[in-house]
Structures are given as structure tokens and as C-alpha cells.
Amino acid sequence: MEEEKINKVKDILEWAFCIVIALVIALLFRYYIGTPTIVKQPSMYPTLKENQRLWLNRWQRTTKKLPSKGDIITFEAPSKTVLSISEKEKDVVARYENEPTSALGKFSYHVLEISKTSYIKRVIGVPKDHVVIQDGKVYVNDKLLEESYLQSGVITDNGKGCVTDVIVPENCVFVMGDNRPQSTDSRCFGCIPLERIESKVWIRIWPLNLFGKIDR
């Protein structure tokens, strides 16, 4: 009888161990390789629509590789969504403040992504690019940016902020949503640092009739 109890305890411990290992593998895969997500805002319309399901490629973050112009990425939402004039004159990099400092807090925020907000936007400028927004149009390095992904008639205004003429700093990108009138983006909060980029949008997995790789 005693031996039977011991065997039951062993079985329970073995199952618990397997479950813990499976959870660890799932977390590592989600953080370093890829994960699904749902589009919750209209800022990337018409390219991405609300409630569509996407598969995110997080290998780019793992390798710390800067995305290319035209890529659609996800990144940690800045703590400050609008730069003041004085802040913009100081630098044009997005602000991230009031982050957790304890080990458990950092794990919950960065790995489990509890209470973390992410944005989906398109990369418009990479380091050393000169991005100018003028008369409703976007110019990169003095050339008009061809944006076939925009809905007909959409113009690019100054957004809610004042970042409309910027040379993108090193290890940063300038991003905007395709639905310019309804997008909070680098026009408002500045350029996104490489370490805040989480993933590249890779595949649309729902609805099934639109399943496939998302091109630029």
C-alpha cells in the first residue's frame, strides 16, 4: 500500500515536471521564434483590418536585426505618445518610462507581456534616412515615397505631434500606420529604438480566404 502511494506521487511529479518543461518551451518559442496576435485597431487599414489574425516572426528581435523599409512590425508602445516641442528639439527617439524594476516585474512585462501594449506600424525610414512630411505627402531622402498600400485619397498630415522633418537616428526606425488619419505613430512619439521592436508581421492566418504571407 505504501509503495502504491509512492508510485502515485512519482507519477504526479513526473506529470508536473513535463508540464513545466512544456510551458518553458512554449514561452521560449513565443518570445524568440514567433507567436499569433489579433489586429485590434484600424491604424493599418486597408492592409490589415480589425480582428484579423496574424503570425508574428520574432526571429528578427532575437537576432537584433533592423527591419527594412516597408516592413510591417510590432513594437512596444512608448510611454509618452506625443513629444513636446522642447523634447523634439532635444532628440526624436520615443520615450519609455516607468518600467518595472524587479526581476519578477520585468519577467511578467517583457516575457509574459502582462499589462504590455504593442503597436503595429509600417517602417518608413531607417537609420540616416531624411524623412519629411509636407503638403500631405511623404519624402524620404528628397524623393517622394510611393505608397501603393494607402487607401485612395488618404493624405499624410502632421498627425497629433510635430515630428515631420527628421533624420532617423542610428539603431532606430521611423514608422507610420497605413490609415494615416487614425494612426498614432512616429509623427507623434518619435523614432522607435531597435531594442523596442518585437517582431515582423509575417503571415495573415485569418480569415482563411486571405491566408498568406503579407508583402510590403
- Whether the CA torsion 37, 38, 44, 47 is positive or negative: it is positive
Active-site annotation holder among 8, 40, 108, 121? 121
| 61, 197 Cβ separation under 8 angstroms | yes
Question: 146: Cβ–Cβ under 8 A, 6 or more apart, which residues?
Answer: none
Active-site annotation holder among 43, 183, 186, 199? 43
Tens of pLDDT, residues 81-115: 666 555 555 578 888 877 777 777 776 766 667 77
* pLDDT bracket for residue 45 (50, 70, 90): very high
Tens of pLDDT, residues 138-173: 999 999 999 999 998 888 887 566 778 899 999 999
3-state secondary structure 129-144: CEEEEECCEEEECCEE
- In the annotation, is 152 catalytic? no
pLDDT of residue 87: 56
pLDDT of residue 123: 97
- In the annotation, is 79 catalytic? no
Q: What is the C-alpha to C-alpha distance for residues 110 and 31, in angstroms, rounded to an integer?
A: 9
Tens of pLDDT, residues 62-81: 888 889 999 999 999 887 76
| 49, 39 Cβ separation under 8 angstroms | yes
* pLDDT bracket for residue 197 (50, 70, 90): very high
